[in-house]
Chain A
Amino acid sequence: MTTLEFSHVSRVYRVRGAGALRALADVSFTLESGRTIALVGQSGSGKSTIAKILTQLEAPSSGEILLDGHPIPHRGRALRRYRQTVRMVFQDPFASLNPYHTVRHHLERPLRLDHVVPRREIDAEVTRLLDRVRLDPVLADRNPHELSGGQRQRVAIARALASRPKLLIADEPVSMLDVSIRLGVLNLLAELQRESNLGVLYITHDLATARHFSDEIMVLNRGVVVERGPADRVILEPEHEYTRRLRDASPNPDLLFGATRAEEAGR
């Protein structure tokens, strides 16, 4: 069981001429193996600041982040171990893969750097990783530009899994993909989450997928968590006015046409 505790974290940016901008204010939550938390909110609400702090790209102004009770290290081997445990899937699969390198290269690097398997088993491990994300192993020797957006994001997911992490931060993992393949990639993430008992932080502005994908939803507004709770409850019976506004602004044709698609199909 791995737990990552985000404890009373604040982040203030100094803005020239405008004083201080409070991007996060006293945010606390715990990410643990086997559970998925969705983080939702408008642009500028602080979602990505949380991701940056979790991946150690930014330091908090105050508060602390504890992995299994220990503060996260800032350098050296300990930081590498942290990064092996907490992995990230980025939004844009067109930007997150190096166009000069093959799929194999992208997957081998974490395997070598983190000594995941003995050297002679690396090839087999690459095949296994591609298999896990439902990609044909022949794609290993292709370059990113030869792959579709959905295939690239699967490679990015395989790369994140290569180091056998315990926790996964997925920042808008499907918003750049074509709509008809989004569900497939999210379902793949859900299956992988179960297989490896991962803890997942799903960062999104899409309330519908947040509701169906996650156990719990956290709603962020201007750096403050205004509501959190079981996913269905937060969307179906929001307690905070801001959550209600977000929900009511989201397209919801089911409401307009009176019945859910499932009911229609049953008739």
Chain B
Amino acid sequence: MTDQTLLTIDDIDVVYDVDPPVHAVRGVSLRLERGEILGLAGESGCGKTTLAYAIQRLLRPPAVISAGGVIFHDRDGDDIDITALGTDALRRFRWDKVSMVFQGAMNALNPVKNIGSQLEDVFLTHRPEMSRAERRAQCAELLEIVQVGRDRLRSYPHELSGGMRQRVMIAMALALKPQLMIMDEPTTALDVLIQREILQQISELRSRFGFSVIFITHDLPLLLEISDRIAIMKAGEIVELDTPANIYRGARHEYTRTLLSSFPSLTGDRGGFLRTGEAR
């Protein structure tokens, strides 16, 4: 382990304890560096969201971490064993050290509360010592940072577009200046232009605040562009972990190659694609 390591996942297993038990994550080991964007790619049911939940102990029964551990290397030097945290310690840990932008999060905003008060909730819970004025100022600044603008504090979710709501969710995840942000399909429901703007924003925020990102998606071409490293997950296991260039040029695992070839090239050759109307 180096000083630069933020998170060490050691041979973790997650089992859904039903009959018969479902082994959703199998022996995953991973070291995440400070400031790194790690792409986690795989198809539905491969265990990528379960793994993300396990890192934060967000799993609910019947899912249990049946083996292995997760150590968080705090920036002040402490090593936190996440699997051993008690209820209160866990509550303090979450969102403060690791935050998450959930899949479809933009639709998770409370429709009858304005944006400002939903952002304020984060500070009310985690920074009870803060004054009301401080909270307000922080929320306004957060909305400025994600370029929604402070004048939207009093807007309700339905008054914002999908892209704006997703930025609000990013602001919320950013609120306590976490060291790791986990993003589960944060741009999947958005169209390409908005997606591009949000990706640029995530990249700028990462440079500015230095947090690490675990970016979960099935969109491998997107990960190839934004990640420092990519982990390919299949049936609960990480089958390949490498830099985008190596994955693109010389994927070793057959499944990685299958995933790569599933996306036709935008400007390159057709690959395995049939065009309609064309004589064979």
Interface residues of A (CB under 8 A from B): 34-36, 42-43, 178-180, 182-183, 186-187, 189-191, 193-194, 200, 205, 207-209, 211-215, 235-236, 245-257, 260-262, 264
Given A183-B264, A250-B192, decide whether A261 and B271 contact each other with a Cβ distance below 8 A: yes
Could you name 25 residue pairs across A and B whose Cβ atoms are closer than 8 Å? A42-B191, A42-B192, A42-B194, A179-B263, A183-B272, A186-B273, A190-B275, A190-B276, A208-B266, A213-B273, A213-B275, A246-B192, A246-B193, A247-B266, A249-B195, A250-B192, A251-B222, A251-B225, A252-B225, A253-B224, A253-B225, A255-B267, A256-B225, A257-B244, A260-B265
Q: Check B274 against A252 for contact (C-beta < 8 Å).
A: no
**Using an 8 Å CB-CB cutoff, how does the interface string of B244-280 with A read, 1 for contact, 0 for none?**
1100110000000011111111111111111111101
Q: Check A251 against B219 for contact (C-beta < 8 Å).
A: yes
Residue numbers in A under 8 Å from B263 (CB-CB): 179, 208
B162, B260, B274: the one contacting A187 at CB < 8 Å is: B274
Interface presence of B92 (CB below 8 A)? no
Interface presence of B128 (CB below 8 A)? no
Residue numbers in A under 8 Å from B259 (CB-CB): 179-180
Interface presence of B218 (CB below 8 A)? yes
Interface presence of B196 (CB below 8 A)? yes
Residue numbers in B under 8 Å from A178 (CB-CB): 43-44, 218
Please, how many angstroms separate the alpha-carbon atoms of A190 and B278 in the complex? 9
Residue of chain A at shortest CB distance from B248:
A257
B43, B195, B267, B269: the one contacting A236 at CB < 8 Å is: B267
Residue numbers in B under 8 Å from A209 (CB-CB): 264, 273
CB B271 to nearest CB in A, in angstroms, measures: 7
Q: Check A262 against B268 for contact (C-beta < 8 Å).
A: yes
CB A166 to nearest CB in B, in angstroms, measures: 14
Q: Check A36 against B277 for contact (C-beta < 8 Å).
A: yes
CB A147 to nearest CB in B, in angstroms, measures: 15
Interface residues of B (CB under 8 A from A): 43-44, 162, 190-196, 218-222, 224-225, 244-245, 248-249, 258-278, 280
Residue of chain B at shortest CB distance from A212:
B273
Given A182-B262, A262-B268, decide whether A253 and B248 contact each other with a Cβ distance below 8 A: yes
Q: What total count of A-B pairs have CB within 8 Å?
A: 130
Q: Check B267 against A252 for contact (C-beta < 8 Å).
A: yes
Q: Check B258 against A180 for contact (C-beta < 8 Å).
A: yes
Please, how many angstroms separate the alpha-carbon atoms of A51 and B248 in the complex? 37
A34, A213, A254: the one contacting B265 at CB < 8 Å is: A254
A194, A255, A257: the one contacting B276 at CB < 8 Å is: A194
Please name 4 further chain A to chain B contacts, defined as beta carbons within 8 Å, in addition to the given A36-B277, A42-B192, A190-B276, sorted by A numbering.
A205-B191, A249-B196, A252-B221, A257-B245
Please, how many angstroms separate the alpha-carbon atoms of A250 and B222 in the complex? 8
Q: Check A191 against B274 for contact (C-beta < 8 Å).
A: yes
Q: Check A215 against B264 for contact (C-beta < 8 Å).
A: no
Q: Check B268 against A254 for contact (C-beta < 8 Å).
A: yes
Residue numbers in A under 8 Å from B274 (CB-CB): 186-187, 190-191
Residue of chain A at shortest CB distance from B260:
A261
Q: Check B225 against A183 for contact (C-beta < 8 Å).
A: no
Residue numbers in A under 8 Å from B265 (CB-CB): 208, 252, 254, 260-261
CB B69 to nearest CB in A, in angstroms, measures: 31
Residue numbers in A under 8 Å from B266 (CB-CB): 207-208, 211, 235, 247, 250-252, 254
Q: Check B262 against A215 for contact (C-beta < 8 Å).
A: no
Q: Check A180 against B262 for contact (C-beta < 8 Å).
A: yes
CB B240 to nearest CB in A, in angstroms, measures: 15
Please, how many angstroms separate the alpha-carbon atoms of A190 and B270 in the complex? 14
CB B170 to nearest CB in A, in angstroms, measures: 18
